[in-house]
Amino acid sequence: MDAERLVAHARRIERRELDVLGAPIPRTGAWPWHTDWRWNHTWAPAHFRSYDPYETPRPCPYDIRRPWELSRLGFIPALIQAAAVDPRGGWPEGGIAIVEDWARRNPLAYSVAWDPMEASMRAISLVATVEMLTALGDHGAAITGPLQQLATHGEFVWRTLEYTDVRGNHYAANLVALLLLGLSLDGSYPEAGKWWRFAARDIEREVELQILPDGVDFEKSLAYHRLVTELFVLALVAMSHAGLAPSPSMRKRLQAACTYSAMCTRPDGLTPNVGDSDGARALSFDAADSRDHRELIGLGALLFADPGLKGVASRLPSAAPWLMGRQAVASWADLRAEQPPDFAHFADGGVVVARGSRSYLWFDVGEVGLAGRGGHGHNDLMSFELMLDGVPLVIDAGCPVYSADRETRDLFRSTAYHNGVRVDGQELAPMTGWWRIGNDATPSGVAAVWDGERVTAEATHGGYRRLPDPVWHTRRITFAPGAGALECIDSLRCREGHLVERYLHLGPEVVVTRQGDGARLTAKGTGWTLSWDDGARFSVEEGTVSSGYGVKQSASVLVLTNTIERDTALRFTITRASD
């Protein structure tokens, strides 16, 4: 934990140097609580049920998620915490003033900010703000406004619970908000006890539902995995402080979830941008890239006394002293650090990971997500991400938008925007509406073996069985992290002819040069060779990748195209260049 870094982050917040979903907020004028400032579109005051995030057509891609994200107030705890290391900075007063401004301009249930999920995330920020102000000293009447907002948000969330037959991160946020609000107001607000008792009962069930036994969040998005795990870790801490004794099963699932985040962390400290990502965080004490899970991983190291998690986290999370008390600092110093394993197969979640000191493979061998419904998952079965020599070489393209632009959203969740195989121009599974993906591409025959130097992983799916001539696809990847070499064999079983396209989305810094029956990939002064021996037609297309919501970067997409007849095996390799 670096005090100078925390104060510098708070100074940026104080100057309103905030980038929200790819768009810096205006540095002057009123806070844009109801506006997408990138497109200068404002939502007029109205009852929260009257807004339509999916309205079409619209004259420009204005996005309700920008005012939503700003109104979550996730930056307030980061502003307040600076007072712990710089008590003369006037941080508490600045944070309280922002909260009061938000409250004045967002009457209960009558502004665009009053969505149940947004209210839940804001409530978590407000509880943290009030508890931090209390810990820093008596601010008397100054925190009356934030305290009133706790009660207001509790009443709203209680009446707008997002309970469905298959629940996800929204209901998790509802429950954790009610738990924290209820415990914070217990004994001082009549309804508080009802909130936390209900939430404490349901949270353990939701942990079992949403986090699979191997620790992978069932929505199959790494960003939402982090969000849901952070939410449930906050619940675990709050329940433990309140003497509610979380079950061993809940603790085991959350330790496994932190372990999954740790194994998905590349050598550069970031995770692949798999599935949807809108930058949502329940822990916002540290300023970090939206793909950086290490604040969560560090908390997991302390909560579960796990040396492997500490080895990945590398430093004490800023959240730790606030959530776990002063003893967290000593506990961190006493906990030894170990390096994570070189290999892991998350059989329930459908992910294979292999890693070296500067090389990394993430391979998707699981179903689409959200119990086969899609949700925040993508058509990415059999896709992979590859880092070699510290360079993100083949990457997941991410997704830069949700409701503001359905055409772009559908592109980024499509088969062709992942590092897999498309047959006859068709999707792995049909996509319908904003959030639904069919469960056609169910994996089978999944196997992963690690011999100490290389992993060999394979799986089969029948997503293309719906074609007039059904096609079964098996992909086998062999990866040696130390040698920096990958071999990929795609076997297609069919009776007739088909057009097969294999896609590789490269990192933005990777340059491609055609070399005979292969290609040279270059970045940061290092070169790699892409080779194939199956007669594929090779093309380099101008593509786009997204490192976070609202962010796009140009990047090359390599396409290997074959016209096959009957059963066929296609192969490519990526190795370090010899010169």
CA distance 26 to 297: 33
> How much is the mean pLDDT over the chain?
94
pLDDT at 128: 94
Would residue 24 count as lying in a domain? Answer: no
Token pair belonging to 354: 């292999």
Cβ atoms within 10 A of the Cβ of 264, count? 27
CA distance 377 to 435: 9
pLDDT tens-digit series, residues 194-233:
999 999 999 999 999 999 999 999 999 999 999 999 999 9
Would residue 3 count as lying in a domain? Answer: no
Q: How confident is the model at residue 323 (pLDDT cuts 50, 70, 90)?
A: very high
* 62-97 core/surface letters (b: 16 or more CB in 10 A; e: else): bbbbbbbbbbbbbbbbbbbbbbbbbeebebbebbbe
pLDDT tens-digit series, residues 352-371:
999 999 999 999 999 988 87
Range of the domain at 359: 343-576
- For residue 558, pLDDT over 70 is answered with yes
Say what angle helices 144-159 and 192-210 make with each other, to 10 degrees: 60
pLDDT at 140: 64
Q: Are 160 and 116 in contact, with CB atoms under 8 Å apart?
A: yes
Least trusted range by pLDDT, from 183-197, 276-290, 474-488, 508-522:
276-290
Least trusted range by pLDDT, from 73-87, 239-253, 381-395:
73-87
pLDDT at 139: 65
Helix (H) or strand (E) holding 240: helix 222-241
pLDDT tens-digit series, residues 375-416:
899 999 999 999 999 999 999 999 999 989 999 999 999 999
The CATH number that applies at residue 475 is 2.70.98.70
CA distance 20 to 267: 26
Would residue 464 count as lying in a domain? Answer: yes
What separation, in Å, do the N-terminal and C-terminal C-alpha atoms of the chain show? 43
Higher pLDDT, 101 or 165: 101
Would residue 469 count as lying in a domain? Answer: yes
Higher pLDDT, 88 or 359: 359
Radius of gyration of the chain (CA): 24
Q: How confident is the model at residue 1 (pLDDT cuts 50, 70, 90)?
A: low
Indicate the DSSP class of residue 54: T
pLDDT at 279: 86
Would residue 300 count as lying in a domain? Answer: no
Give the mean pLDDT of 93-98.
Answer: 90
Give the mean pLDDT of 74-92.
Answer: 86
Q: How confident is the model at residue 475 (pLDDT cuts 50, 70, 90)?
A: very high
SS3 19: strand
CA distance 538 to 40: 43
pLDDT at 261: 98
pLDDT at 303: 97
DSSP letters spanning 324-357: H-THHHHHHHHS---PPPSEEEETTTTEEEEE-S
Give the mean pLDDT of 44-50.
Answer: 96
pLDDT at 284: 82
254: phi then psi, degrees, rounded to nearest 5: -75, -35
SS3 126: helix
β-bridge mates for residue 211, sequence order = 217
pLDDT at 93: 87
Q: How confident is the model at residue 31 (pLDDT cuts 50, 70, 90)?
A: very high
Give the mean pLDDT of 316-321.
Answer: 92
pLDDT over 90, % of the chain: 84
Would residue 430 count as lying in a domain? Answer: yes
- For residue 141, pLDDT over 80 is answered with no
Q: How confident is the model at residue 274 (pLDDT cuts 50, 70, 90)?
A: very high
* 355-381 core/surface letters (b: 16 or more CB in 10 A; e: else): bbebbbbbbbbbbbbbbbbbbbbbbbb
- For residue 573, pLDDT over 60 is answered with yes
Say what angle helices 294-304 and 248-263 make with each other, to 10 degrees: 140
Would residue 92 count as lying in a domain? Answer: no
pLDDT at 469: 97
Would residue 246 count as lying in a domain? Answer: no
Q: Total structural domains in the chain?
A: 1
Residue of 492, 513, 505 lying closest to 569 (CA atoms)? 492
- For residue 122, pLDDT over 80 is answered with yes
Least trusted range by pLDDT, from 8-17, 39-48, 98-107, 503-512:
8-17
CA distance 240 to 254: 14
